[in-house]
Amino acid sequence: QVQLVESGGGLVQAGGSLRLSCVASGGVFSINSMAWYRQAPGKQRELVATITSGTLPNYADSVKGRFTISRDNAKSTVYLQMNSLKPEDTAVYFCNCNAKVYYGLSYSEKSSWGQGTQVTVSS
């Protein structure tokens, strides 16, 4: 099992910046990809950014050029640097991890979610 813990959310003014962190831990696993999602009140959960082994990062059009996803493999941590924040970025941000979770010499592919961290951008 993989546990994910997000941190770094908070209240900022429009135009400000935040950096979210997500640490994966527990068991024996190999991460295939990590991603950030967000969900605003009354809206569906939205994919914000992904970083997958062997590929370039991918971003939603709404955050492209403002957000940067990065990954520290040694620390099993993914970051989301958010610059030029807008009120419409206000949401609960969730970390997601797709990983091979090993049991002996075999594994199962699992998707795990963090508890979410609140980002509020005031105007």
Q: What is the mean pLDDT of the chain?
A: 95
Strand intervals (E) in 8-105: 10-13, 18-25, 29-39, 46-52, 58-59, 67-72, 77-82, 91-103
pLDDT at 90: 98
List all residues 6 or more positions away from 112 whose beta carbon is below 8 Å from its beta carbon.
1, 2, 3, 4, 24, 96, 97, 99
Counting residues of the chain whose pLDDT is more than 90, the rounded percentage is 88
Range 40-55 average pLDDT: 93
Q: What is the pLDDT of residues 31-45, one digit of tens each?
A: 999 999 999 999 999
- Among candidate residues 88, 98, 96, 97, the one with its CA nearest the CA of residue 119: 88
The structure tokens listed for 75 are 């620390």
